[in-house]
Structure 1
Amino acid sequence: MTASGPRPPKLGGTHLANLHTFLVAARHLSFTRAADELCLTASAVSHRMARLEDELKLKLFHRLARKVELTDDGERIFQAMQLTMDTLSEAVQERAHAQLQGQLCLYARPSIAQCWLVPRLGDFMARYPGIQLDVRVGNEPVDYRTRRIDLALCYSNGEHPGLRSRRLMPERIAPVCSPDYARAHDLTGQPARLSHCTVLHDVAAWDNIAFDTEWRLWLQAAGQNLELPERFMTFDRSDLSTLAAINQAGVAMGREQLVRKRVQDGELVLPFGGFQGVMNYGYYLVHPAHEAMPKRLQVLIDWLIEQADN
């Protein structure tokens, strides 16, 4: 006869209510913030979690001095519940005639949102009027657990541990400035004359970088053994850096997808030649893993890929 441990409990109504509390607490990693969302006290949330752990015979949280963290069992159950909620949400949104309905939150870096994404959104809304798209922008790292973001459009090298990542389009970079600035500083074909210029930096190009990383990657890719000048100006958006360059504030690092039209229109020039690819950096679509991809999210991803191919 094989020995066996205690039989796992069957889930009932009380368990489901406490599991919902667990889902909120696990998403916030805070009993206090979970209590605010659920209109409970932090003590009540803590008691519910203790009772749930006792009933399930599982430890779900590590309770630290000022925060809580999920145990391995807690993380496993949280991921399973997230998938379940995705499935339920999709079922609620389904219609007998298979129309696409519901909300989607798309998060993007400000520069790609302004220069590339937003001008195209009219086409998406014309095709999918039943989808309510909530577009958010920012430079901070995306926290899918607390912010309810369905999809992020990121400028990165595609490395997003624990998430699904797909390259939407490549990116190449090159210094750009106004034609008048290039003439005034005799820059055309002479990168060494950067030492007489003000260099404009996007300090938030992607997560956790030095303020001059994008410029240094270009120097390496272009084979330029130069020191960057001491005169510089910093921005937290590439489009603002580019706008400053148009208005003769200095030389910015231009991203091809964002500045191509301004170069074609003559607002900007490439004083040191064409764009350079930098490793795998480009624009990526990033989202949590889904056992079954919600249809409205899939059509958004497909639409973005179509736009990138045009």
Structure 2
Amino acid sequence: MLNLPPRLGTRLTGAQFANLHTFAVAARHLSFTLAAEELCLTPSAVSHRIARLEQALEQRLFERLTRRIRLTAEGERLYQLVQGLLEELEEALQPDATATVSGALTLYARPSITQCWLVPRLADFQQRYPQISLDIRTGNEAVDFRARHIDLALLYGDGDFPGLASELLMNEQVAPVCSRQYAERHGLIDAPQRLQQCTLLHDALAWDHAAFDAEWQRWARRHDALAYLPSGGLTFDRADLCALAASNHVGVAMGRRHLVQPLIDQGQLILPFGDFEAAAGQGYYLVHPPREPVPVRVRVMIEWLRECVQ
């Protein structure tokens, strides 16, 4: 049996269309207050619109809980339908394939790859698509595509993103890095056993659910060097800060090539134990909610990012 959304008891009027739009915004935020801010209404007006829609559908769309709301099963089905229709409408309003692509696009990415790899390339995207209003947000927390209205995310991980569409954008390579001064002071060149007397620099949020020293542990297991790793060290919540600390003689970081290659080219970092090697199972992924069709503005961003790694 088909899992259909609830049906309106009356024809779709302008008022009901407004109610449906209000519902979609409230469902995305899971908050009447945030929906009111986006729609320039009062929370009371949002609540009244939702109540009128629920009355017309003869269905409860939200469960009103203490200090929060959540969608009912009927509300979730209706949200998926309305959101899909709005995206199809946006797609249809693009005049043709050769027309100027426009609209707002929110891209969420981890701070390190944003600063070291994405931002230096953005001038080209802006030149090609000046009518796209690009909003880049960064963070290490789990991505809430609905509440934060995120169109596309650039994430570092192993490709496991349940319930989301994803594709590998580029693989990563890793190797320990430090400044030449630090390597000479500790006699590190081709001597990983000397790590025992060093300070290790850790990205404690390397990927979702990673241990604070996950990158070092993986490298050490591949090189039979677990006994060389000192306990503790300094932890950061960004890989680029680990690299910056290493370039300032603080310790040894696990460098990701896409983030640290410019510092190596400039002589601020060296590879004391040899060249980069593949980061087992780890890479940068483009992730977004599954939807068909994918909006034009999102498609051009994905295509542009693919070009950047060719």
TM-score when normalising by structure 1: 0.88
Distance 2:138 2:131 in 1: 22
Distance 2:183 2:98 in 1: 59
8 A contact 1:218–1:276 mirrored in 2: no
8 A contact 2:166–2:286 mirrored in 1: yes
Q: Which amino acid is the alignment partner of residue 126 of structure 2?
A: M
Alignment CA distance shift 1:81-1:226 (3 Å): farther
Shift of 1:246: 0.9
Which residue of 2 is the match for residue 3 of structure 1?
Answer: none
Alignment of 1:82 onto 2:83: yes
Q: Which amino acid is the alignment partner of residue 76 of structure 1?
A: R
Which residue of 1 is the match for residue 3 of structure 2?
Answer: none
Q: Which amino acid is the alignment partner of residue 281 of structure 2?
A: N
8 A contact 1:221–1:276 mirrored in 2: no
Which residue of 1 is the match for residue 190 of structure 2?
Answer: 189
Which residue of 1 is the match for residue 166 of structure 2?
Answer: 165
Q: Which amino acid is the alignment partner of residue 196 of structure 2?
A: S
- What secondary structure sits across from 1:144 in the alignment? coil
Distance 1:162 1:277 in 2: 27
Distance 2:133 2:52 in 1: 38
Distance 1:65 1:230 in 2: 45
- What secondary structure sits across from 2:227 in the alignment? coil
8 A contact 1:162–1:288 mirrored in 2: yes
Alignment CA distance shift 1:292-1:253 (3 Å): same
8 A contact 2:179–2:268 mirrored in 1: yes
Shift of 1:66: 2.7
Which residue of 1 is the match for residue 294 of structure 2?
Answer: 293
Shift of 1:155: 1.0
**Alignment deviations for residues 77-98 of structure 1 (CA, whole Å, 9 cap, x no partner):** 1122222222222334436952
**Alignment deviations for residues 217-249 of structure 1 (CA, whole Å, 9 cap, x no partner):** 222333322263235112222112101101110
Shift of 1:214: 2.0
**Alignment deviations for residues 189-226 of structure 1 (CA, whole Å, 9 cap, x no partner):** 22222110111111222233332222222223333222
The 10-residue stretch of structure 1 (251-260 or 232-241) with the greater mean CA deviation from structure 2 = 232-241
8 A contact 1:87–1:292 mirrored in 2: yes
Please provide the CA RMSD for this pair: 2.3
Alignment of 1:174 onto 2:175: yes
Alignment CA distance shift 1:8-1:87 (3 Å): closer
- What secondary structure sits across from 2:108 in the alignment? strand
Distance 1:279 1:234 in 2: 22
8 A contact 2:110–2:139 mirrored in 1: yes
Shift of 1:134: 2.3
Alignment of 1:14 onto 2:11: no
Q: Which amino acid is the alignment partner of residue 208 of structure 1?
A: H
**Alignment deviations for residues 154-195 of structure 1 (CA, whole Å, 9 cap, x no partner):** 111122222211110001211110112111111122222211
**Alignment deviations for residues 7-55 of structure 1 (CA, whole Å, 9 cap, x no partner):** 8634333322221221121111122332343344444433433332232
Q: List gaps (5 residues or longer) in structure 2.
A: 1-5
- What secondary structure sits across from 2:182 in the alignment? helix
Shift of 1:263: 2.5
- Size of the aligned set, in residue pairs, is 304
Alignment CA distance shift 1:7-1:185 (3 Å): closer
**Alignment deviations for residues 52-85 of structure 1 (CA, whole Å, 9 cap, x no partner):** 2232133322232232111222112112222222
Shift of 1:286: 1.0
Matches within 5 A, 1:194-213: 194-213=195-214
Distance 1:8 1:266 in 2: 67
8 A contact 1:93–1:102 mirrored in 2: no
The 10-residue stretch of structure 1 (266-275 or 157-166) with the greater mean CA deviation from structure 2 = 266-275
| Fraction of identical pairs, as percent | 56
Which residue of 2 is the match for residue 139 of structure 1?
Answer: 140
Alignment CA distance shift 1:48-1:199 (3 Å): same
The 10-residue stretch of structure 1 (247-256 or 24-33) with the greater mean CA deviation from structure 2 = 24-33
Which residue of 1 is the match for residue 71 of structure 2?
Answer: 70
